[in-house]
Amino acid sequence: MSGEIPTGVLFDVDGTLVDTTYLHTVSWWEALRQADHPVPMALIHRSIGMGSDKLLDHLLGPERNRGGDGKLRDAHDSLFAEYWERLTPLPGAADLLRACAARGLRVVLATSAAEHEVTALRAALDADDVIDTVTSSADAEESKPAPDILVAALEQSGLDPRRVVFVGDSVWDVAAAGKLDIPCVGLTCGGTSRGELAGAGAVAVYDDPAALLAALADSPLAAPRPASGQNKPDSEA
């Protein structure tokens, strides 16, 4: 049985539309270093895309004393805020959003960034004219890989989960989408490889928003959704 044409696209923002993955990595590295938690940047990078609670569990262990987590989060936020005025959209990001809107797709930013960070990310994108709905961390009880932020995005936009596609850059994005049976298109511009994204279940993988835009007409954003259980990892140039 064939699927239905998507009516909306949910986009992760950090590392997918705005070039922030390594800025978050450095900010967490410095916050952890200041608290005498030396963690290699490579390990931190692999955790970006999770919420801060799960990221710290992943890096420091779930059995640790969590009494210092608030200070670690505050330190990260302060360090990351130093980059706000220099945040840069990834190649083709705003053009991709506008092209989706021009095709009649509703554009939703399904981000779990804090509300003050969302303002900076939207300013960097400069595409508010085509953005339908935006979430923030306040909308989700649990962070990715839990699907809460996607559930919130669907509820706020009124979109049917059977007629949306999610675009993200991390295996945590793919995992969250999979829990709702939403196809996830992966972008490697956040630093996660094509093989890892496809192996996690991404239905297609592109280099960045510009590459997805160039192939938009033949991508999962334009094609009918497969019937439930028929999504297969794929990759595109």
Inter-residue contact 74 to 56 (CB < 8 Å): no
Element containing residue 117 per DSSP (H, E): helix 115-125
- pLDDT average, residue stretch 169-176: 96
Residues 6+ apart with CB under 8 A from 79: 26, 27, 30, 31
Distance (Å, rounded) from C-alpha 26 to C-alpha 195?
Answer: 25
C-beta neighbour count of 217 within 10 angstroms: 11
Closest CA to 138 of 157, 153, 154, 159: 153
Vertex 175 angle, CA 177 and 12, to 5°? 55
Q: What is the DSSP string of 65-97?
A: -GGGHHHHHHHHHHHHHTTGGG--BPTTHHHHH
Q: What is the helix (H) or strand (E) element at residue 8, kind and residue range?
A: strand 8-11
Stated pTM of the model: 0.92
Name residues whose C-beta falls within 8 Å of residue 132's C-beta, 6 or more positions apart in sequence: 8, 106, 107, 108, 157
Looking at residue 1, its pLDDT comes to: 26
For residue 233, name the pLDDT band (cuts at 50, 70, 90): very low
Closest-CA residue to 207 (of 173, 168, 175, 237): 237
For the stretch 63-88, pLDDT in tens is 888 899 999 999 999 999 999 999 99
Kindly give, in sequence order, each residue whose CB lies less than 8 Å from that of residue 127, ignoring residues fewer than 6 positions away.
Answer: 93, 94, 97, 98
Q: How confident is the model at residue 227 (pLDDT cuts 50, 70, 90)?
A: low
Confidence of residue 237 (pLDDT cuts 50, 70, 90): very low
What is the layout of strands, in order, in the sheet containing 8-11?
131-134, 106-109, 8-11, 164-168, 184-187, 204-206
State pLDDT tens for residues 179-194: 999 999 999 999 999 9
Q: Is the peptide bond before 161 cis (omega within 30 degrees of 0)?
A: no
For residue 191, the SS3 value is coil
Task: Give residue-wise pLDDT tens across range 137-155.
Answer: 899 988 889 999 999 999 9
